[in-house]
Amino acid sequence: MIMSRIEAPRDEDDAAAAVTGTLVDRLRAGLPAGSVLTDPDVTASYAHDMASFCPAGAPAVVVLPRTVEEVQHVMRTATALRVPVVPQGARTGLSGAANATDGCVVLSLTKMDRILEINPVDRVAVVEPGVVNATLSRAVDAHGLYYPPDPSSWEMCTIGGNIGTASGGLCCVKYGVTAEYVLGLDVVLADGRLMSTGRRTAKGVAGYDLTRLFVGSEGSLGIVVRAVLALRPKPPAQLVLAAEFASASAACDAICRIMEGGHVPSLLELMDRTTVKAVNDLAHMGLPETTEALLLAAFDTTDPAADLAAVGALCEAAGATQVVPAEDAAESELLLQARRLSLTALEAVKGTTMIDDVCVPRSRLGEMLEGVDRIAAKYGLTIGVCAHAGDGNTHPTVCFDALDPDESRRARESFDEIMALGLELDGTITGEHGVGVLKKEWLAREIGPVGLEMQRAVKQVFDPLGILNPGKLF
Amino acid sequence: MIMSRIEAPRDEDDAAAAVTGTLVDRLRAGLPAGSVLTDPDVTASYAHDMASFCPAGAPAVVVLPRTVEEVQHVMRTATALRVPVVPQGARTGLSGAANATDGCVVLSLTKMDRILEINPVDRVAVVEPGVVNATLSRAVDAHGLYYPPDPSSWEMCTIGGNIGTASGGLCCVKYGVTAEYVLGLDVVLADGRLMSTGRRTAKGVAGYDLTRLFVGSEGSLGIVVRAVLALRPKPPAQLVLAAEFASASAACDAICRIMEGGHVPSLLELMDRTTVKAVNDLAHMGLPETTEALLLAAFDTTDPAADLAAVGALCEAAGATQVVPAEDAAESELLLQARRLSLTALEAVKGTTMIDDVCVPRSRLGEMLEGVDRIAAKYGLTIGVCAHAGDGNTHPTVCFDALDPDESRRARESFDEIMALGLELDGTITGEHGVGVLKKEWLAREIGPVGLEMQRAVKQVFDPLGILNPGKLF
């Protein structure tokens, strides 16, 4: 850490203030008035993202550049003064990857929010990083196009943040994650130089795929200032089916039958009884509380009713107690709303949650859910599970009272035990939320010492001074 | 270069023989009899891939390991003796990326050819690198599954080679390239250590995406010894339509209308008049020689005839002189055969070809084809164009007599001018064939000095001694 905390003793404060003074003066020399924020009350509001239990420091300054040149100025200044830089989008992340470190420059990309191009023939969009996901989705929709990645925070989160985290969403089971849609990037490197990666063509293999290296790198390799994104033609509206099961394992059996049967649902989500009850308590949606697992399947094909009928039959064969296909788009939307409310609803259960993000091979989803049940019982905790079930991506959500130290300790321990279980089942500690500060120790466990050494060496190539989002990932 | 060529003067020969002797002895200590080939006539047959005009050296030895441990032994030996290693699959590549360098160890992965797992629920296959693409495709087909990447050489080329080159094929316009199907890798590093990257789950964002870094790295970062590949459910059989146009620009207009109209063909290929005539001359297929451009479109949807009708109407609107939908799978297959024969047929025109691989945004395909015509006229050459038109990926193929020095020079110049044109049109010098030795100077032009510096630094991380496929890419 280069500078001390705001709350540090007086003489350290003076030294820090002097450094900060130089830093701020230098930043202001290349940024317009109003783009450099130093009021501690304001900068403090940029300290962290939406992850629980992740340490966050106090930024020395927040900058809000509007051009590539301004970002270059920020990085040149940070390099010259050896000051850490924490890039941020909308700070909706769930791993602390956007959390400030003491004395850092918070580099918020939210003002670089222009959609530069939408091209229906090439099926690409060219955007700045601060464009909000929903804004882009609506803009391309107007051209008959579709930008699939849809994290739950899509009304707030930015494309730059999505790229940093390699975000997923509800549609991934059919359409894949953010990574699949990033064709090319303009990146400002740690030293302020500008580099272009990738392409705007449908295909291209010229040199190493540095584009994909930046996707999911959590701001630790460079600052994305422009992205070329692939688009798809807009699919027909999806139709949703809800199936109730008397056990989670029956629901998982249905999922296996659906995928083994060659179906390609546009959504295949699971909510356990705890989650269903939490959503009812919050929003009075009248979901069936007697069910142990509620499965939602959707198709956006030309004949979704036929696909739902086939999948409904498979659910029944797997022991579904009730199968209810939505009759129209409005009914479908209601079911999706219930799913989207899950995390908020679980948060209301005991005030605080830790949301895990373990992804396992879908053939092992049943073992995963059983294991989470065991862990909840062992620690005497409420753990609700909602899952992108078609991807095997579970979000076991530990509900606890943060004011109860013992319960908090048990919450943390169960959270870790869930990740250990995921690794045992050939899974990963993070399907879509990223590593950030929340899962740093676990990254090493997942990828092993050789992988870790190579990842660190790659980091060193792009950030030899270690100023880009230090303390994240590893 | 560490060792001299076989054809070198006597005393250098002696020194080389001594080094080779040590190398071969050490390799034999960890490899079974028959896995280490030193007969110069035999090793010479491993000297190059299928690219024209790419220099190739004489290997000191060829090794054919069958296990991960044997590959590790080879790399440890090569590191200890500082000997270059050239990894090879079936050597069907078109950029010289698999060409030997003088005194190298050729590391052929063709004997590591086991399919280790096919899992229809998880929709993954786990394979060794030497598995032939067609062998895998047929094996997964038997499970109702589909491995899309289908380079023209699919009956011969290996999955390891496909991964090294990030191969494409005819299906990419709907299903993407090899990179989209590689979930995880086991890689033997230059020093013989084993590293796992990625995952076998549908999603995962734990750390940097090193998997994608290896895909398309042309054997320059490590040796892929095992791959987890994503599979799709087998789609319905595709139905093909042929449309004739009086000009290439009318055909390109049709392509733009098709893509802008939101259609998702499973194939969208273009053959120019030169190519059509060459195929007729070779195979007497009775293709319409009066056409300036023949467009093939296919759909593998549930109602392909309806899709073909819609696309046929768009072709007519763009000025197609004739639109002929295939009536069944057999007729469709015949049209695809014509397309697959294109390169072989063009090779027969004057004995030798240089196959370019420029990919442009599909909205600029018309400009690309016009430009190639101009270049052909300027150099007085026959240049046939077949193209994965839906992707904007053109293969302008320069036909020439290699025994005519002036024509050979003009061929090389026109080949380069085609790449320059591609870059002017916002394209890439290689859509799917890779850089190898053929396009080394052009890679630098495409990615610029900063990109090149970073790519070299990444190479340095994984191969500090520079022994992995040296002289390729940059």
Residue B436 is predicted with a pLDDT of 96
Contacts B260 to A, Cβ<8 Å: 120-121
Q: Which residue bears the tokens 């930043």?
A: A27
Res. A11 pLDDT band, cuts 50 70 90: low
Contacts A177 to B, Cβ<8 Å: 203, 205
Which residue among A264, A363, A432 places its CB closest to the CB of B205?
A: A432
Contacts B361 to A, Cβ<8 Å: 119, 121-122, 124, 200-201
User: What CATH class is the domain B115-233?
Assistant: alpha beta
Question: At B113, phi and psi to the nearest 5?
Answer: -125, 35
Could you read off the pLDDT of B31-71 as tens digits, one per residue?
A: 999 999 999 999 999 999 999 889 999 999 999 999 999 99
Percentage of residues in chain B with pLDDT exceeding 70?
A: 97
Q: Please state which CATH number belongs to domain A239-424.
A: 3.40.462.10
Which residue among A208, A301, A390 places its CB closest to the CB of B213?
A: A208
Among 3.30.43.10, 3.40.50.300, 3.40.1440.60, 3.20.19.10, what is the CATH number of B10-108? 3.30.43.10
Strands (E), A300-351: 322-325
pLDDT (mean) for B72-89: 98
Find, among B104, B100, B229, the residue nearest to B158 by Cα.
B229
Is a pLDDT exceeding 50 seen at residue A300?
A: yes
Mean pLDDT, chain B, integer: 95
Is a pLDDT exceeding 50 seen at residue A3?
A: no
Q: How far is residue B134 from each of residues A242, B150, B152, B158, measured CA to CA in Å?
A: 40, 8, 11, 9
Contacts B419 to A, Cβ<8 Å: none
Res. A16 pLDDT band, cuts 50 70 90: confident
Residue B10 is predicted with a pLDDT of 57
First to last CA, chain B: 16
Find, among A287, A215, A267, A305, the residue nearest to A387 by Cα.
A267
Token pair listed for B390 = 């839906």
Q: Which residues contact A430 (CB under 8 A, 6 or more apart)?
A: A95, A357, A358, A359, A439, B204, B205, B206
Distance from CA of A198 to the nearest CA of B (A): 8
Which residue among B173, B431, B448 places its CB closest to the CB of A205?
A: B431
Contacts A433 to B, Cβ<8 Å: 205
- State how far the Cα of B108 lies from the Cα of B66, in Å rounded to an integer: 10
Strands (E), B50-189: 61-63, 85-88, 105-108, 115-119, 124-127, 145-146, 182-188
Is a pLDDT exceeding 90 seen at residue B451?
A: yes
Q: Output the DSSP codes for A176-207.
A: --GGGGEEEEEEE-TTS-EEEEE-SSS---SS
Distance from CA of A203 to the nearest CA of B (A): 5
Is a pLDDT exceeding 70 seen at residue B116?
A: yes
- Beta carbons of B107 and B223 less than 8 angstroms apart: yes
Distance from CA of A382 to the nearest CA of B (A): 26
pLDDT (mean) for B289-303: 95
Closest-CA residue of B relative to A394 is B203
Q: Which residues contact A37 (CB under 8 A, 6 or more apart)?
A: A43, A61, A62, A63, A64
Contacts A119 to B, Cβ<8 Å: 361, 363
Res. A109 pLDDT band, cuts 50 70 90: very high
B203–A172: do the CB atoms touch at under 8 Å?
Answer: yes
Res. B145 pLDDT band, cuts 50 70 90: very high
Mean pLDDT, chain A, integer: 95
Res. B459 pLDDT band, cuts 50 70 90: very high
A216–B208: do the CB atoms touch at under 8 Å?
Answer: yes
Residue B2 is predicted with a pLDDT of 36
Token pair listed for B78 = 């090569």
B195–A119: do the CB atoms touch at under 8 Å?
Answer: no
Find, among B329, B320, B319, the residue nearest to B298 by Cα.
B329
Is a pLDDT exceeding 80 seen at residue B19?
A: no
- State how far the Cα of B468 lies from the Cα of B84, in Å rounded to an integer: 6
Continuous H helices in B10-58: 10-28, 40-44
Which residue among B302, B434, B452 places its CB closest to the CB of A205?
A: B434
- Could you state, in order of their start, the residue ranges of all structural domains in chain B? 10-108, 115-233, 239-424
Is a pLDDT exceeding 60 seen at residue A269?
A: yes
Strands (E), B109-256: 115-119, 124-127, 145-146, 182-188, 194-198, 223-230, 232-233, 239-245
- Residues constituting chain A: 474
Residue B7 is predicted with a pLDDT of 47
Res. B193 pLDDT band, cuts 50 70 90: very high
Give the ipTM of the model, two decimals please: 0.95
First to last CA, chain A: 16
Find, among A136, A52, A146, the residue nearest to A354 by Cα.
A52
B264–A233: do the CB atoms touch at under 8 Å?
Answer: yes
A455–B259: do the CB atoms touch at under 8 Å?
Answer: no
pLDDT (mean) for A277-303: 93
Q: How far is residue B107 from each of residues B60, B112, B246, B267, measured CA to CA in Å?
A: 11, 11, 49, 35
Helix-helix angle A342-350:A329-340, to 10 degrees = 40
Could you read off the pLDDT of A428-438 as tens digits, one per residue?
A: 999 999 999 99
Contacts B368 to A, Cβ<8 Å: none
Residue A12 is predicted with a pLDDT of 63
pLDDT (mean) for A19-37: 93
Strands (E), B252-327: 267-272, 293-299, 322-325
Lowest mean pLDDT among A318-332, B174-188, B248-262: A318-332
Could you read off the pLDDT of B426-445 as tens digits, one per residue?
A: 999 999 999 999 999 999 99
Regarding predicted confidence, which is higher, B192 or B19?
B192
Could you read off the pLDDT of A156-175 as tens digits, one per residue?
A: 999 999 999 999 989 999 99
Please, how many CA atoms are within 13 Å of residue A102, restricted to the half-sphere of its CB? 12
Could you read off the pLDDT of B376-408 as tens digits, one per residue?
A: 999 999 999 999 999 999 999 999 999 999 999
B317: left (phi over 0), alpha (psi -120 to 50) or beta: alpha
